[in-house]
Structure 1
Amino acid sequence: MSVLSKIGEYGRMVRFSHSLFAMPFAIGSMWVAANGFRGMDVLQITKFVLLIVGCMVTARNSSMSFNRLVDAKFDAENPRTSKRHLVTGALSKKAVIGFIAVNAALFCLLAWLLNPLAGIFSFPVLCALAFYSYWKRFSWLCHWYLGFAIGMSPLGAWIAVRGEFAAFPIFLMFILMLWMGGFDIIYATQDEEIDKRQGLHSVPARFGRAKALKIALASHLAMLALCVIFGVYWQMGIAWWSVFALMAAAILYIHLFRKSDDLDAMNRDFFLANVGISVLVMLGLIVWILLGGDVNALR
């Protein structure tokens, strides 16, 4: 197998396209934390962008690969996941362990290059990301833990730029947690029966598909409520409220007005909504700063 083919196999294993869910939140948080990069030269901007994107990619690579490694037995028994790389032998266990180790090491190194606080928290963050793989074995709250794990990205980007915690990115973290938690519940409806047979926990396996979809809607409505609090408290202005209107319309349309009950179509729609809402949040944050928002004036 050529080097490019091998890289492609690793990219497919970690479903690199799904980076689009969290990356825009991180970029938006980075933009606000850096105050639109006002007063920074090209080298400073390049450093932050490359290191933060590098942290995002390597952290996700290591956590997704770890998930594939520890869930290989369950994947082999599930028709939906039976073609995954460790199950089919496209990648060996040794190769995946090596991939995890390299990406984890790179993540910690890149974090230390950003600032000491980012470096100190790099290993705990990796542990928190890896722990997601075990939640489905004991709790149907696993969907929101996944959301929390992904939601750390805007907080991490903020710390990477400013070297401190703040309420602003923590709000973004919980917004992303509620959005991703609801989306993951919908995604898990595909595995309702196999989860029951394997003794795994999920909202669909615990409550059934119909109730699960209502719980997903409730999670997304809670996310919209948090977006309102976020916009009011930090006086985000027209940019944020325009984004909010589009997000609310997309969520309500897909949950309440879409016609097909086909699970594949539903998941495709929510995949597109996932990317769209993440990009909208990023644009709302970027435009807010461009229209005169000032991170240094935040409460």
Structure 2
Amino acid sequence: MMLSFKKEKLSVLLERAVVFGRMIKFSHTIFALPFALSAVIIAARDFGFSFSRLFWIIVAMVGARSAAMGFNRIVDAGMDSSNPRTAVREIPKGEISAGSATLFVVASSIVFIIASAMLGNLCFYLSFPVLAVLLGYSYTKRFTLFCHFYLGFAISLAPTGAWVAMTGTFSWIPVLFSLALMTHIAGFDILYACQDYEFDSREGLHSIPAKLGVAKALDISTYVHIASFVFFVAIGFASGLGLIYYVSSLIIGLLLIIEHRLVNPNDLSKVNIAFFHINSVISVVLLLGIAGDLLFGRMIG
């Protein structure tokens, strides 16, 4: 009887975990995590490696992202319920209450702060302004069309933060990772926002598609991703990487071209393919390119 009760309780907890994971799009952690891990790999080459620090970096990233996404869902719940595309999200549907989501955000924030403290005093002190930046994104669509770049900047703190956590120092190398990630995120967020062009325009929300139109937004996204590709290449030069990394950069460039060929002003049906699949592959290709170059680059150099 007791065993059956425990199994039932565990099943309920797992179901709730899945619902919360769906709320914060936990699977999308793959967009930024490979950038942070790439910075960790380069830092480990020059400063040495620590499994303990890597563990707390991952915990900090998961906590920070969970807090930011949960907070975004709370702040946007009213708008989400009015938008047919987002009305199926967990808070508008009633699967998660605002109170439960708030507790989740608080708990995730505490996890982030504790993990940062485990990485040293500097990371602990920086965790508070970083958390403020991450949570602040949720309000940007209410007053600026540069919300896409704010989102990119907020997420791009991850590689530089990981570098500081690993080394206790600052360098321009992780800044290049952050610039590549910022423009990468901003570029595809502009694409993603095209889906809500009509809703955002009607509700007076700020985004590049809503203010400038879908066609111009796609052009801007293209230019931003060209800048992103330049930063990817610059990472190779600054980090002293070789052929394997530059081949991976070329693959990333081709994936960005494919992404933009999938989306056009008259057909936004493939935005989700570009957003969810291609961008995930780009992050993984970056990580594999750096790891592969450091492991095997000398063999073919």
Scaled by the length of structure 2, what TM-score is found?
0.90
Alignment of 1:192-203 (within 5 A): 192-203=197-208
Correspondence for 2:147 = 142
TM-superposition CA deviations, 1:262-292 (whole Å, max 9, x none): 3232321332111111111112222233247
Q: CA deviation at 1:69?
A: 0.7
Any conservation in 2 of the 1:29–1:155 contact (CA below 8 Å)? Answer: yes
Correspondence for 1:248 = 253
Any conservation in 2 of the 1:31–1:37 contact (CA below 8 Å)? Answer: no
Q: State the structure with bigger RCO (CA 8 A, min sep 6), 1 or 2.
A: 1
Q: Please say which of residues 125-134 and 262-271 is displaced more in the overlay.
A: 262-271
Correspondence for 2:34 = 24
Q: For 1:34, what is the secondary structure of its paired residue?
A: helix
TM-superposition CA deviations, 1:44-77 (whole Å, max 9, x none): 41x1232111111110000001001111111111
Change (3 A) 1:270 1:73: closer
Correspondence for 2:129 = 124
Correspondence for 2:3 = none
Matching of residue 229 in structure 1 with residue 229 in structure 2? no
TM-superposition CA deviations, 1:158-191 (whole Å, max 9, x none): 1111112211101100100001101000100110
Match among 282, 288, 292 for residue 293 of structure 2: 288
Counterpart Cα distance in 2 of 1:83 and 1:271? 18
TM-superposition CA deviations, 1:79-104 (whole Å, max 9, x none): 11111122121111111111011110
Counterpart Cα distance in 1 of 2:160 and 2:100? 31
Correspondence for 2:89 = 84
Counterpart Cα distance in 1 of 2:185 and 2:20? 23
Any conservation in 2 of the 1:136–1:202 contact (CA below 8 Å)? Answer: yes
Q: Please say which of residues 230-239 and 171-180 is displaced more in the overlay.
A: 230-239
Q: CA deviation at 1:240?
A: 1.9
Change (3 A) 1:162 1:95: same
Any conservation in 2 of the 1:116–1:163 contact (CA below 8 Å)? Answer: no
Alignment of 1:1-299 (within 5 A): 2-35=12-45, 44-45=50-51, 47-256=52-261, 262-291=267-296
Q: For 2:157, what is the secondary structure of its paired residue?
A: helix
Q: Please say which of residues 222-231 and 80-89 is displaced more in the overlay.
A: 222-231
Correspondence for 2:4 = none
Any conservation in 1 of the 2:147–2:207 contact (CA below 8 Å)? Answer: yes
Counterpart Cα distance in 2 of 1:4 and 1:226? 41
Any conservation in 2 of the 1:75–1:84 contact (CA below 8 Å)? Answer: yes
Alignment-mate amino acid for residue 14 of structure 1: I
Q: Which runs of 5+ in 1 are unaligned?
A: 294-299
Any conservation in 1 of the 2:80–2:89 contact (CA below 8 Å)? Answer: yes
Q: Please say which of residues 272-281 and 179-188 is displaced more in the overlay.
A: 272-281
Correspondence for 2:5 = none
Any conservation in 1 of the 2:133–2:154 contact (CA below 8 Å)? Answer: yes
Q: Which runs of 5+ in 2 are unaligned?
A: 1-8
Alignment-mate amino acid for residue 15 of structure 2: S
Correspondence for 1:296 = none
> In percent, how many aligned pairs have the same letter?
39
Counterpart Cα distance in 2 of 1:22 and 1:178? 12
TM-superposition CA deviations, 1:10-45 (whole Å, max 9, x none): 10000111111001111111111122885x5xxx41
Alignment-mate amino acid for residue 25 of structure 1: F
Counterpart Cα distance in 2 of 1:184 and 1:260? 15
TM-superposition CA deviations, 1:119-160 (whole Å, max 9, x none): 110111110000110111111111011111111111111111
